Amino acid sequence: MKYKIIDKSQSEEIAKLAVCLTNEIIERTGIKHFDVDVPLAIDLCEKYVSNGIYHVMAAFDEDKIVGFGAICESHSLYAEGKFGIIQEFYVAPEYRSKEIGKFLIQAIVEFAKEQGWKRLELCTPPVPEFDRTVGFYKSNGFEITGGYKMKYEVA
């Protein structure tokens, strides 16, 4: 298995995996939290990767991407500077429980160190359907910091 930052040419593969992630969240919770638009996801991924505002660490089995973590930089006073946010993290179901996620997290941590980030943050739903996901992140060094992920629709 190889772990590396993708370039724009692999955006379509990443966008399709992100749609799988979105669909899995909808399926597990029974609530349509997101709209699923594959062409838009591909377009956004290409733009974000090209502009350098979205970094994607991918896990490769030969030439096939089987998992990814999408990371963006943010800044705050509470984090004492710049830090990374893992926006999406996904490993294809047939590749789970094979430590791919563990090594993907480790590769993202190394990338974060190279960027000079103070910390990494992520959000996972605090509902029983995601207890295993929370356990995975905790076993890989993340800690629960409390709160809820909230949104406000501007448009």
The CATH number linked to 81 is 3.40.630.30
| 3-class DSSP assignment, residue 148 | coil
Decide if 153 is inside a domain: no
In three-state secondary structure terms, 95 is helix
Q: 67 near 100, Cβ under 8 Å?
A: yes
**Chain-centroid distance, C-alpha 66:** 13
Residue burial 29-65, b: 16+ Cβ < 10 Å; e: rest: eeeeeeeeeeeebbeebbebbeeeebbbbbbbeeeeb
Q: Which pLDDT does position 93 carry in this prediction?
A: 95
Has this prediction a pTM greater than 0.85? yes
User: Cα separation of 137 and 124, whole Å?
Assistant: 9
Is 95 part of a structural domain of the chain? Answer: yes
- Count of domains in the chain? 1
Answer whether residue 147 is part of any domain.
Answer: no
What are the tokens at 26?
């909808």
The per-residue pLDDT for 67 is: 98
Percent of the chain with pLDDT over 70: 99
Domain-located, residue 154:
no
Has residue 149 been placed in a domain? no
Q: pLDDT by residue for the chain (155 residues), tens digit each? A: 999 999 999 999 999 999 999 888 888 888 776 777 889 999 999 999 999 999 999 999 999 999 999 999 999 999 899 999 999 999 999 999 999 999 999 999 999 999 999 999 998 876 788 888 999 999 999 998 877 777 788 87
Which residue range(s) make up the domain with 117? Answer: 2-139
Is 92 contained in some domain? yes
Cα end-to-end span (Å), the chain: 41
Report if residue 152 sits inside a domain: no
Residue 69 β-bridge partners: 57, 89
Backbone angles phi, psi at 70, to 5 degrees: -100, 130
Q: Which residue has the tokens 């500077």?
A: 81
Q: Using CA atoms, how far apart are residues 83 and 112, in angstroms rounded to an integer?
A: 8
In-domain check, residue 146? no
